[in-house]
């Protein structure tokens, strides 16, 4: 399971696979696999603010969440909240990273 020690505020994680629904002691639990930036894969609890935000951003059909990105927030009580990252934010970040990479490559070429 994803724990506070595994993440930092602002870290981006990738959701993958399908929502896992399980029951224990009469309670229903929702979990989804996430991939950390280093490639480590963990199971994250999907409930409360996270669940509501993901449904609002990506829709109630959880199969559509596969491949989407979330950003970590650790609240003052030590709970992990996963906020959806919009496609436009993701595209802008990828473009910024590509521009930085090209800029570094240009500097390496100059004598």
Over its length of 111 residues, how does the chain's per-residue pLDDT go in tens digits?
Answer: 999 999 999 999 999 999 999 999 999 999 999 999 999 999 999 999 999 999 999 999 999 999 999 999 999 999 999 999 987 566 656 766 777 777 667 666 655
The string over 88-106, giving b where at least 16 C-beta atoms fall within 10 Å of a residue's C-beta and e elsewhere, is eeeeeeeeeeeeeeeeeee
SS3 state of residue 48: helix
Residue 98: the pLDDT is 76
**Strand pairing partners for 14?**
35, 69
Residue 103, CA distances (Å) to 50, 75, 92, 95, 106 in order: 37, 37, 16, 12, 5
């Amino acid at each position: 399971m994803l724990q506070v020690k595994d993440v930092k505020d602002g870290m981006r994680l990738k959701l993958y696979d399908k929502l896992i629904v399980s029951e224990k002691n009469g309670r229903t639990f929702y979990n989804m696999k996430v991939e950390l930036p280093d490639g480590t894969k963990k199971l994250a609890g999907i409930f409360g603010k996270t669940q509501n935000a993901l449904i609002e951003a990506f829709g109630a059909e959880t199969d559509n969440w596969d491949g989407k990105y979330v950003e970590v927030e650790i609240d003052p009580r030590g709970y992990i909240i996963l906020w959806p990252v919009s496609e436009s934010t993701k595209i802008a970040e990828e473009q910024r990273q590509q521009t930085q990479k090209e800029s570094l490559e240009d500097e390496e070429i100059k004598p």
